[in-house]
A and B are shown apart, each in its own frame.
Chain A
């Protein structure tokens, strides 16, 4: 049901002239992709510095909450750019992306990462001031940092997998994968 809806929506997007223009333009798609990837340095870069500080791996002589607070803005700028370019990349190739298993897992991980960031922030605020100058953060916050590191590593890895075609609709016959990837037509053909 939801797979059909997503596919119809993707077909509708793909029919738009701006979507086709983004793919067919001489540089437009490459530039979008390059911006998306290079902005990792700003978004994930800032985020990992904060997480590394919580783990006590770097900048242990800087108050942790200060570092997290000051790096928040560049990090959010980075994530905003990533979100906009990412949305445009999906808009440029909607059908392929919607039917990509990797893209779907990536979105789930992203969702988990944002939930984790929210919980992490709440914990950070609750513990404010009590451990700021310690080299290593309290256990609850360290767990949040480790989860955040793992989830974002996963997001980047899956993002890298998207252009590869190992489990493309046309290649797989496994019904579970076909369902998970939303390959509506192939599933119908098998049934």
Chain B
């Protein structure tokens, strides 16, 4: 695509909404993973994902 081409309404709206939606989803997932790791640390004392509770 040539750079001189003017950005149309649809393209601006598409890129804008995509950035907002993707940004908030990534934000959510990062927070979610963070809280999961915290919970694992609370449970096992370390953030190992597949701890063996029998050994612990």
Contact = CB atoms under 8 A, between A and B. Distances in A.
Interface of A: 17, 20-22, 24-28
A27 B49 contact: yes
B54 A26 contact: no
B36 A27 contact: yes
B52 A21 contact: yes
Given A26-B51, A27-B36, 12 more contacts: A21-B53, A21-B54, A24-B52, A24-B53, A24-B54, A25-B50, A25-B53, A26-B39, A26-B44, A27-B40, A28-B49, A28-B50
A81 B48 CA distance: 23
B18 interface: no
B25 interface: no
Contact of A25 (B36, B39, B51): B51
A17 B50 contact: no
A25 B54 CA distance: 9
B52 A26 contact: no
Contacts, number: 27
B31 interface: no
Contacts of B43: 26
Q: Looking at chain B, what size class is its interface with the partner chain?
A: 10 to 19
24 contacts: A17-B52, A20-B54, A21-B50, A21-B51, A21-B52, A21-B54, A22-B50, A24-B52, A24-B53, A24-B54, A25-B49, A25-B50, A25-B51, A25-B52, A25-B53, A26-B39, A26-B40, A26-B43, A26-B44, A27-B36, A27-B40, A27-B49, A28-B49, A28-B50
Contacts of A27: 36, 40, 49
Nearest to B40: A26
B55 to A, nearest CB: 8
A126 B44 CA distance: 58
B29 to A, nearest CB: 14
Nearest to B36: A27
Q: Which 6 A-B pairs have the closest CB atoms?
A: A21-B52, A24-B53, A26-B43, A28-B50, A25-B50, A26-B40
B32 to A, nearest CB: 12
Contacts of B51: 21, 25-26
Nearest to B51: A25
